[in-house]
Amino acid sequence: MLGPGPSNVPPRIQAAGGRPLIGHMHPEIFQIMDDIKLGIQYAFQTRNSLTLAISGSGHCAMEAAFFNSLEPGETVLIAVKGIWGERAADICERIGAVVHRLVKSPGESFTLEEVEQGLAKHKPVLFFITHGESSSGVAQPLDGLGNLCHRYDCLLLVDSVASLGGVPIFMDQQEIDILYSGSQKVLNAPPGTAPISFSEKAQKKIFRRKTKPPSLYVDMGWLSNYWGCDGKSRMYHHTGPITNFFSLREGLAMLAEQGLENSWKLHKENALYLYEGLEKLGLKLYVKDEAIRLPTVTTVEVPQGYEWKDITAFLMKNYSIEIAGGLGPSAGKVLRIGLMGYNSTKANVDLVLVALKDALQQCHKNKI
């Protein structure tokens, strides 16, 4: 599965997920949840006490972030440079927030100056930006954004679903107030759990809100207790996805054993190797600025004379390789190749390049 996720699950994580079920309120599962919390704190580079995994996919974590931190009528600023900003704005409109968008073309990133103009103009209480924009293949630089938002009395919320473990991120050092990710990308666990963490500033805002969060399922008051973050004895809230907790714990353990620096380096090296091979095939990378290419998801322009669907279908049929087409604003324009965690290897790059070379020979519209 060399698309933008889910990525393949390594045998060790699969074995963890195959363990017999235990109860969602047994002391053993609480120990596992505590381990997950430590693993997320390491992966996010944070000491935040309110750190846990949402029982749901990255979308659920996105909703959890907004549902808890935003109240109806409050102003939010959303950086839109691909599908995730569009989704975030949609969620905020459903909450009844006053939503402003800062828009860039897919394939580009935002500068600090552009963000500052937006903050000065709209005075939001919350600013959202995607770190790894998987629809366009862009890694948004984050340095300075947290400090900037705080100077404007605004919280910084970052989506790192497609980038966590593949691109450096330092939640505390970069002053990110709310950060979430997903289990099914670099962490190589099945979809269904989503790490999330809240800074002290974010906790102050969410625990002093005037209205209840619109969802009970992702209410951080409840989840903070269920995850042992509030120092009180744990109460039943919902039935956690126990099997997915086993897998997520293993994925986080593998990342910790490898070390974040090694993981970041490996993703970068294999992405560079892929770019070189794609260019040798005459293909064009969609993100022109090398400095902002996302090493976990590479976007390639659909070559002239080809239909993207013919290429993805050819790879699946003849090589059992999944790559994807574009998503949201990049739909129809790109092919997306994912190299995440266990899948980020030179051997996988070689494999996908051989398959693409064949596809370029076989799928030209004049030939079909």
Annotated binding site for substrate: 336
- Least CB distance to ligand GLV at residue 201 (A): 28
Binding positions are 336
Backbone angles phi, psi at 67, to 5 degrees: -60, -30
7 sits near ligand GLV (criterion: CB under 6 A)? no
Rounded Cα distance between 5 and 36, Å, is 21
Q: For ligand GLV, which residue has the nearest CB?
A: 134
Nearest distance from C-beta of residue 180 to ligand GLV, angstroms? 13
x/- mask, ligand GLV, residues 193-232, rule CB under 6 A, reads ----------------------------------------
Q: Which of 2, 5, 70, 146 touches ligand GLV by CB under 6 A?
A: 5
Whichever of 135 and 225 has its CB closer to ligand GLV, that residue is: 135
Size of residue set near ligand GLV by CB under 6 A: 6
Report how far residue 138's alpha carbon sits from residue 290's, in angstroms, rounded to the nearest whole number: 10
CB nearer to ligand GLV: pick between 154 and 294? 294
179 touches ligand GLV (CB under 6 A): no
The site string for ligand GLV over 293-332 (x = CB under 6 A, - otherwise) reads -------------------------------x--x-----
Nearest CB to ligand GLV, comparing residues 41 and 163: 163
Instruction: Indicate whether 4 belongs to the interface with ligand GLV (CB under 6 A).
Output: yes
Other CB atoms within 10 Å distance of the CB of residue 349: 25
Q: For residues 83-142, which are near ligand GLV according to CB under 6 A?
A: 134-135
Tell me the CB-side half-sphere exposure of residue 17, using CA atoms within 13 A.
18
For the bound state, the minimum distance from the C-beta of residue 182 to ligand GLV, rounded and expressed in Å, comes to: 7
Structure tokens at 150: 């705080």
Rounded to the nearest 10 degrees, the angle between the axes of helix 260-280 and helix 346-362 is 20
User: Which parts of this chain interact with ligand GLV (CB under 6 A)?
Assistant: 4-5, 134-135, 324, 327
